[in-house]
């Protein structure tokens, strides 16, 4: 064996390699561990030797250096058994822990002598002044001054521990808190001068004193007080605490008479003194278990932070830690490594459940949770491992769990193999563990329970289930990857002196300009509701002359809304001084002014960069082409930049050819990349025509550029594949033609192919891989890679693993990914969640779009919800639909029959699936009895059919649950908003849908002329008298609101009761309300003014379409709003809802409720808003219903 080591920075790793005939064996890991091994068998000795040489060369380039050679016996010899039962803290943790003599006697390094005397000499005047302040009691002052005088008079003077403590407390005003560690050596001086008893007593006396005053550091009135007196602060550790820690260290090292003297001194403080004194005696001698046990019982109700903290640091049982947790704020130990290490040292393995409880506490910071999980991974018990495993989906617990697996490999094998079969996280970890530690598996397998052993064997057998394919069978990009054979680039052909033509024109797509102009409604109309009574001309005159109170903020609204005679004279050379959120309003400017505003938009790109790209889409401009070519290099806007290039190929080609053959540099690289995109989109002719205009040299250079095999186009530095993406630990990728599985080298190249890709711009080699490989195995491989990436805490350098899911993922990928996307923003992963929206859209199946739409409509994080809405609108536009129309088409049929049912076969008996009013599936047996779930298979049932039927029903229930909540919400909102479908759409999308028909039949519907009907069991239509009803294809159909039904509501209710039809939501018995005449004429609903409601009930309005307002000062959302047609209902609340903690304020006062137009300025309220009478009867009724229910 050849051994190599890498020691650099935080890395300390080894790597060994050896060959036995045609088998190459590799072992690797951290220095000081046994590591893990893997073996690869080749078809010949020559192939094995070549592979070995290649691996060695790769390690050399990474900085590994050869150490020694070993015989091959070292590979096959059993790995030394690791002690997995003893609690052994890493050196860093052991060094941080405060010692206790019953665990380990510390070796003490003497401190520099004279610290106390130096401190007193330098600060004598300041200390005297502090002690003379009024707040300092006379007895405290006298003791401190006496000790100070004695110490300064003679080097050995001063023997009063109370006086010594007074001066150290007073020193808190002259020694900054950040320098408090400088006080620790004073303990050494005390020991050296007067012994361990004096040091112990003086330290305990510190606990009875404190600085107090209006401001304990800066105010002139601060002084020294006894604990418990007025003004005594106890919400922080005192500045002298490092001195107490040092005394503990010295006492832990002391023995014989020294220790006896300290015990005697501390015993005097055990009775009749303040609880601070008593707690410090236990802190200083934590090996006095009787003291600690008694204090944790007697002082369990303490409210003093120092008492709880000191006793927590002395505890030796989990119950003692729990008793002190509240007062000592021990749950924050993740911020306090010495305390956390001390707790583990003191309590031992029993600390595990306590740490687990701390992880689950709400509002723990990420750093605390991460550190506590890391501590839990140090505990060598099955309980601790299971606690981490149960939190495998917790982002901070995952990394700690991997540490625990590495630290306790045998325990990990046993417990992971014993985990439930449906625990996907455990199954993935088990597979990686088994394949990464073959020696461990061989040694531990005989000791595993039968079921666990069988599970491990199946993994080992399955890993080699498919033979490795020959190189000849691989796709070219994997058999001969261009990055493995790269040669020095040929000298580029430079054709200098070329100039691009300057051109600019508008190229609107149908309806695009109208859409741009419609955005005017989102820009505030500053002339509505102003107190000054001015018009546009006066406002523009003051604003553009710098005399306006808006200070430039009104420029954009003026240019959007003011008449041409006001705006056009100012357009030339105009660049707005305040362009906040210009990207949202720029399309309105482009729609109105077209080419006249292009110079303004181009000027704004200098600061707002790609924010302007949507507004620049209709501009066929050479200047825009150059900008877009540069933006295409940015992953965040690459997709939009590609849209512009494909939309304007001729302009892009003419503008970019000179740069693409010009001087080597950034401009040339941008132009080359953009021209490849244009040519690859089917516009090769336009690119060559533009090049031909500049002569044969330019034509030849451009032709060579676009004819280059895209597989050969690589970045200057191909991305590195991380070590954790080890082929030996990943599922096999099988070739679609049955030629076998990818060999290890090809798997590494496969990773590089996807590392070069995004869903917006996949590397050309992806198409070869997708065509050659089995899609299921490819999707499985990348899901496993994604899982590993997730377990490691989503390292940013490997974000392309998520992108890979969008290129090869399937419906199962979507089902696993979508729940994660929904929670990521709450874990600080908003950016990752937004990237995953592109992944779902790229997968593009009905299931993927269904989940994407669900995120767009129901996820609780507003930022993600809005981005998902944009994405679903984009997808819908590509299909020529609105977002709502797309959502109508995204409900799968789940394999149901045309009649909406499904038969599950057990062999001798069968069950028919039905759905209730909430789309919850149930089954009906042969006797007609209804069951909520399938029965367990019986002895007479066909085992294969029954097992498949049970799995089918479980999957159906899970999938339909995802759809049901969204559909029920959508249909109720459709009733409230009056959304309509054509008769043809209604029949096709709903009546003919095998799942949704179960909802359709439970509702009353109404046509555009007000006629109502229902859908019968046989899918025909019937009116309230059960007579045949006809719906024409061009009729307008909507869900009936009770106000639509008038006097027929009672008849419909009776009919549905007769047929035992339960509605999916309240329809026929829905409460209805009406505005009073005064309310209809008013701009404010006074009956809800100054009404107080619980915050939780107010937030429940979000389920009815209300949304919280934008966060303002301190992240407070001061209103809720509800879109109603073209208007917005606003409910202002006080004190407001805190974004990060909605429950911070238990109640909210509704200040007022008013109706706002989209163009109203944000400060327009009930004085200038619209009158409520403009609302239709249904909209008014639903608004009043919402407010009535939330305040009742």
Co-location of 161 and 224 in the same domain = yes
Output the CA angle 91-92-96, nearest 5 degrees: 115
Cα angle for residues 783, 733, 421 (degrees, 5° grid): 50
Contacts of 793 by beta carbon, 8 Å cutoff, 6+ apart: 395, 396, 398, 399
Report pLDDT digits (tens) over 645-694: 999 999 999 999 999 999 999 999 999 999 999 999 999 999 999 999 99
Other Cβ atoms within 10 Å of 448 Cβ, number: 19
Indicate the pLDDT class of residue 156, thresholds 50, 70 and 90.
confident
Q: Which helix (H) or strand (E) holds 1156?
A: strand 1147-1156
Q: Where does a domain end: 235, 261, 285?
A: 285
- For the chain, helix, strand, coil in percent to 5 are 55, 10, 35
Residue range 740-763: average pLDDT?
Answer: 92
Predicted local confidence at residue 216, as pLDDT: 47
Taking only Cα atoms into account, the Rg of the chain, rounded to an integer number of angstroms, comes to 37
Q: Are strands 23-30 and 1012-1015 parallel, antiparallel or unpaired?
A: unpaired
Q: What angle do CA 644, 831, 1136 make, to 5 degrees?
A: 115
- Bond into 599 cis (ω within 30): no
Contact 560/585 with Cβ under 8 angstroms?
yes
Rounded distance between C-alpha atoms, residue 785 and residue 776, angstroms: 14
CB 801 within 8 A of CB 782: yes
Residue 1173 has pLDDT above 70, yes or no: yes
| 1134-1148 residues labelled b (16+ CB within 10 A) or e (exposed) | eebbbbeeeeebeeb
What confidence category does residue 560 fall into, taking pLDDT thresholds of 50, 70 and 90? confident
Say what the pLDDT of residue 485 is.
82
H helix or E strand, kind and range, residue 18: strand 11-20
Domain membership of residue 1154 (yes or no) is yes
**Do the domain assignments include residue 413?**
yes
Write out pLDDT tens, residues 76-99: 333 345 678 888 888 889 889 999
**For residue 75, pLDDT beyond 50:** no
Under 8 Å between Cβ of 902 and 892: no
What mean pLDDT, rounded, does the chain reach?
Answer: 87
Rounded distance, CA 575 to CA 465, Å? Answer: 67
Regarding whether 666 and 578 lie in a shared domain, the answer is yes
Confidence check: pLDDT of 632 > 70: yes
Res 4 pLDDT > 80 = no
Instruction: Return the structure tokens found at 560.
Output: 């959007």
Q: What crossing angle do the helices spanning 115-122 and 186-194 adopt, rounded to 10°?
A: 110
pLDDT over 60 (residue 8) = no
Q: How confident is the model at residue 141 (pLDDT cuts 50, 70, 90)?
A: very high
Which residues is 41 bridged to in the sheet?
A: 23
Q: How far, in Å, CA of 814 to CA of 897, rounded?
A: 24
**71 Cβ neighbours under 8 A, 6+ residues apart:** 1
Question: Any bridge partners for residue 1122, and if so which?
Answer: 1129
Q: Does 964 reside within a domain?
A: yes
Place of tokens 């595990």: 352
Residue 918's CB is within 10 A of a number of other CB atoms, namely 14
Q: CB of 773 within 8 A of CB of 732?
A: no
What's the token pair of residue 782?
A: 């990348």
Query: Where are the strands (E) in 270-403, listed by range?
Result: none
The residue count for the chain? 1192
Q: Which of 654, 687, 692, 660 is nearest to 673 (CA)?
A: 660
Q: Is it the case that residue 218 has pLDDT exceeding 60?
A: no
User: Cα dist. 600→85, 565, 593 in Å?
Assistant: 71, 19, 11
Are 910 and 1038 in a shared domain? yes
φ/ψ of 642, rounded to 5, equals -65, -35
Phi, psi of 148, deg, nearest 5: -60, -45
Tell me which residue of 300, 275, 397, 210 sits closest to 793, measured CA to CA.
397
- In 508-618, where do the E strands start and end? none
- Whole-angstrom Cα distance, residue 599 to residue 345? 69
Domain-located, residue 526? yes
Examine the pLDDT at 832 and tell me if it is beyond 90: yes
Asked if residue 12 has pLDDT above 70, the reply is no
Judge if 945 and 920 occupy the same domain: yes
Domain match, 739 and 823 both: yes
What is the 3-state secondary structure of 837-879? HHHHHHHCCHHHHHHHHHHHHHCCCHHHHHHHHHHHHHHHHHC
Q: Looking at the 3D structure of the chain, how many domains does it have?
A: 7
Query: Are 113 and 171 contained in the same domain?
Result: yes
Residue 892 is encoded by which pair of tokens? 């799968």
**pLDDT > 70? residue 36:** no
Mark whether 967 and 1104 lie in a shared domain: no
Global pTM reads: 0.68
* Beta strands at 1005-1007 and 223-226: parallel, antiparallel or unpaired: unpaired
Per-residue pLDDT, averaged over 839-854, amounts to 91
Residue 374 belongs to a domain: no
1102 token code pair: 């979000």
Using CA atoms of 567, 570, 574, 580 in order, give the dihedral in degrees to the nearest 10: -40
Tens digit of pLDDT for each residue in 1043-1099? 999 999 999 999 999 999 999 999 999 999 999 999 999 989 999 999 999 999 999
| 472 in a structural domain | no
Q: Residues 170, 171, 174, 179: is their CA dihedral positive or negative? A: negative
Long-range pairs for 159-166: beta carbons < 8 A, 24 or more residues apart: 159/194, 159/198, 161/198, 161/201, 161/202, 161/204, 161/205, 162/202, 162/205, 164/116, 164/190, 164/202, 164/205, 165/202, 165/203, 165/205, 165/206, 165/208, 165/209, 166/131, 166/140, 166/209, 166/224
Tell me whether residue 448 is in a domain.
Answer: yes
User: How many Å apart are CA 127 and CA 168, to the nearest integer?
Assistant: 10
Pick from 502, 501, 517, 498: nearest CA to 602: 502
Considering the domain architecture, whether residues 678 and 533 belong to the same structural domain is answered as yes
Domain boundary among 23, 44, 76: 76
Half-sphere exposure of 1131 (CA within 13 A, CB side): 31
Mark whether 1011 and 1139 lie in a shared domain.
no
pLDDT of residue 82: 64
Q: What is the pLDDT of residues 1101-1130, one digit of tens each?
A: 988 889 888 787 777 888 999 999 888 999
H or E segment to which residue 1130 belongs: strand 1127-1138
The answer on 235 and 270 residing in a single domain is yes
Nearest-angstrom CA–CA distance, 960 and 892: 9
Helix 275-284 vs helix 241-253: angle between axes, to the nearest 10 degrees? 40
**What local confidence, expressed as pLDDT, does residue 1066 receive?**
94
**pLDDT confidence bin for 524, thresholds 50/70/90:** low
Query: Which residue range(s) make up the domain with 49?
Result: 2-76
Residue 1007 lies in a domain: yes
Task: Say whether 87 sits in a helix, a strand or coil.
Answer: coil
| pLDDT tens digits, 760-794 | 889 999 999 999 999 999 999 999 999 989 888 89
CATH (domain of 593) = 1.25.10
Four-residue CA torsion sign, 475, 477, 481, 486: positive
Residues 991 and 1032 in one domain: yes
Pairing assessment for the beta strands 619-621 and 504-506 based on DSSP bridges: antiparallel
The token duo for 954 is 């479980």
Q: Are residues 950 and 862 in the same domain?
A: no
Q: Tokens 């110079």 identify what position? A: 599
Is residue 462 over pLDDT 90?
A: no
Virtual torsion, Cα 371, 373, 374, 375, nearest 10 deg: 90
């Amino acid at each position: 064996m050849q051994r190599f080591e890498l020691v650099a920075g935080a890395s300390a790793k080894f790597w060994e390699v050896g060959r036995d005939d045609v088998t190459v064996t590799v072992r690797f890991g951290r220095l000081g561990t046994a590591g893990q091994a893997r073996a690869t068998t080749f078809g010949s000795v020559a192939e094995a030797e070549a592979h070995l040489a290649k691996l060695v060369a790769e390690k050399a380039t990474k900085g590994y250096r050869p150490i020694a050679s070993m015989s091959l016996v070292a590979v096959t010899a059993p790995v030394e058994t690791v002690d997995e039962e003893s609690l052994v803290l890493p050196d860093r943790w052991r060094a941080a822990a405060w010692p206790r003599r019953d665990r380990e006697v510390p070796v003490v390094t003497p401190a520099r002598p004279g610290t106390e005397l130096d401190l007193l000499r330098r600060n004598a005047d300041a200390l005297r002044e502090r002690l003379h302040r009024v707040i300092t009691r006379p007895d405290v002052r006298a003791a401190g001054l006496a000790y100070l005088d004695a110490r300064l008079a003679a080097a050995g003077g001063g023997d009063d521990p109370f006086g010594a403590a007074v001066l150290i407390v007073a020193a808190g005003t002259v020694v900054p808190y950040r320098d408090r560690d400088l006080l620790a050596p004073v303990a050494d001086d005390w020991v050296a001068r007067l012994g361990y008893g004096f040091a112990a007593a003086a330290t305990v006396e510190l606990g009875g004193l404190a600085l107090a005053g209006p401001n304990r550091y800066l105010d002139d009135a601060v002084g020294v007080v006894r604990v418990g007196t007025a003004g005594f602060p106890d919400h922080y550790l005192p500045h002298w605490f490092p001195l107490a820690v040092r005394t503990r260290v010295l006492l832990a090292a002391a023995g014989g008479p020294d220790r006896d003297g300290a015990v005697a001194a501390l015993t005097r403080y055990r009775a009749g003194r303040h609880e601070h004194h008593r707690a410090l005696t236990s802190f200083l001698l934590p090996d006095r278990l009787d003291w600690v046990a008694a204090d944790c019982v007697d002082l369990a109700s303490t409210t003093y932070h120092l008492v709880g903290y000191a006793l927590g640091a002395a505890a030796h049982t989990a119950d003692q830690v729990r008793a002190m947790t509240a007062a000592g704020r021990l749950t924050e130990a993740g911020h306090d490594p010495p305390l956390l290490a001390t707790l583990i040292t003191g309590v031992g393995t029993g600390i595990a459940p306590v740490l687990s409880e701390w992880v689950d506490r709400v509002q723990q910071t990420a750093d605390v949770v991460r550190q506590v999980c890391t501590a839990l991974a140090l505990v060598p018990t099955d309980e601790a491992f299971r606690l981490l495993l149960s939190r495998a989906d917790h982002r901070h617990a995952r990394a700690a769990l991997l540490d625990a697996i590495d630290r306790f490999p045998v325990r990990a094998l046993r417990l992971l193999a014993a985990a439930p079969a449906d625990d996907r996280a455990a199954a993935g970890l088990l597979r990686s563990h088994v394949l990464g530690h073959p020696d461990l598996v061989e040694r531990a397998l005989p000791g595993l329970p039968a079921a666990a052993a069988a599970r491990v064997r199946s993994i080992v057998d399955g890993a080699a289930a498919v033979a490795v394919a020959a190189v000849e069978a691989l796709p070219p990009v994997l058999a001969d990857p261009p990055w493995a054979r790269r040669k020095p680039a040929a000298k580029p052909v430079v054709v200098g002196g070329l100039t691009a033509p300057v051109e600019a024109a508008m190229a609107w797509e149908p309806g695009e300009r109208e859409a741009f102009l419609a955005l005017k409604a989102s820009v505030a109309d500053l002339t509505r509701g102003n107190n000054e009574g001015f018009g546009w001309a006066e406002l523009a005159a003051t604003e553009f002359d710098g005399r306006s109170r808006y200070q430039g903020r009104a420029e954009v609204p003026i240019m959007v809304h003011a008449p041409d005679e006001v705006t056009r004279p100012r357009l030339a050379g105009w660049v707005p001084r305040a362009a906040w959120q210009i990207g949202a309003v720029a399309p309105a400017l482009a729609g109105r002014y077209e080419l006249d505003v292009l110079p303004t938009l181009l000027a704004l790109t200098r600061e707002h960069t790609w924010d302007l790209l949507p507004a620049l889409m209709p501009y066929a401009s050479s200047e825009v082409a150059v900008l877009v070519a540069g933006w295409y290099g940015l992953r965040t806007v690459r997709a939009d930049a590609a849209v512009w290039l494909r939309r304007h190929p001729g302009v892009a080609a003419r503008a970019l050819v000179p740069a693409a053959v010009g001087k080597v540099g950034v401009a040339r690289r941008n132009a080359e990349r953009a021209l490849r995109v244009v040519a690859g989109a089917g516009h090769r002719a336009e690119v060559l025509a533009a090049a031909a205009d500049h002569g044969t040299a330019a034509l030849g250079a451009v032709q060579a550029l676009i004819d280059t095999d895209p597989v050969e186009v690589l970045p200057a530095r191909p991305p590195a594949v991380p070590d954790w993406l080890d082929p030996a630990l990943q599922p096999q990728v099988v070739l679609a033609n049955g030629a076998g599985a990818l060999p290890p080298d090809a798997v590494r190249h496969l990773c590089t192919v996807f590392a070069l890709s995004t869903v917006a711009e996949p590397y050309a080699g992806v198409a070869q891989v997708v065509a050659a490989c089995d899609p299921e195995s490819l999707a499985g491989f990348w899901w496993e890679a994604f899982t590993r990436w997730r377990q490691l805490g989503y390292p940013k350098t490997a974000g392309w693993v998520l992108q890979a899911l969008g290129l090869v993922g399937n419906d199962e990928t979507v089902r696993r990914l979508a729940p994660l996307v929904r929670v990521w923003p709450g874990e600080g992963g908003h950016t990752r969640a937004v990237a995953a929206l592109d992944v779902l859209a790229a997968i593009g199946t009905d299931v993927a779009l269904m989940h994407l739409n669900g995120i767009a409509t129901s996820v609780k994080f507003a930022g993600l919800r809005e981005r998902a809405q944009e994405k679903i609108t984009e997808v819908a536009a590509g299909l020529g639909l609105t977002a709502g129309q797309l959502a109508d088409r995204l409900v799968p049929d789940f394999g149901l029959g045309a009649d909406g049912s499904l038969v599950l076969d057990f062999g001798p008996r069968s069950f028919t699936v039905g759905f209730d009013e909430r789309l919850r599936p149930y089954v009906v047996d042969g006797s007609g009895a209804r069951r909520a779930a399938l029965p367990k298979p019986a002895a007479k049932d066909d085992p294969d059919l029954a097992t498949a039927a049970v799995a089918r029903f479980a999957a159906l229930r899970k999938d339909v649950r995802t759809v049901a909540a969204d559909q029920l919400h959508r249909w109720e909102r459709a009733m409230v908003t009056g959304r309509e479908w054509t008769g043809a759409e209604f029949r096709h999308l709903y009546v003919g849908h095998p799942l949704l028909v179960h909802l359709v039949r439970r509702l009353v519907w109404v046509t555009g002329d007000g006629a109502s009907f229902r859908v019968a069991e046989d899918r025909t239509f019937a009116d309230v008298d059960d007579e045949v009803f006809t719906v024409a294809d061009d009729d307008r159909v909507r869900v009936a609101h009770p106000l639509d039904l008038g006097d027929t509501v009672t008849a419909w209710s009776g009919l549905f009761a007769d047929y035992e039809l339960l509605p999916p939501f309240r329809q026929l018995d829905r409460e209805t309300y009406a505005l009073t005449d005064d309310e209809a004429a008013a701009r404010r609903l006074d009956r809800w003014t100054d009404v107080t409601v619980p915050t939780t009930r107010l937030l429940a309005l979000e389920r009815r379409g209300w949304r919280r307002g934008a966060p303002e000062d301190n992240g407070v959302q001061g209103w809720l709003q509800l879109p109603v047609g073209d208007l917005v209902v606003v409910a202002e609340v006080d004190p407001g809802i805190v974004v990060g903690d909605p429950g911070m304020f238990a109640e909210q006062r509704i200040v007022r409720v008013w109706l706002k137009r989209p163009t109203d300025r944000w400060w327009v309220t009930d004085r200038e808003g619209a009158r409520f009478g403009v609302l239709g009867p249904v909209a008014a009724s639903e608004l009043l219903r919402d407010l009535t229910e939330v305040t009742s």
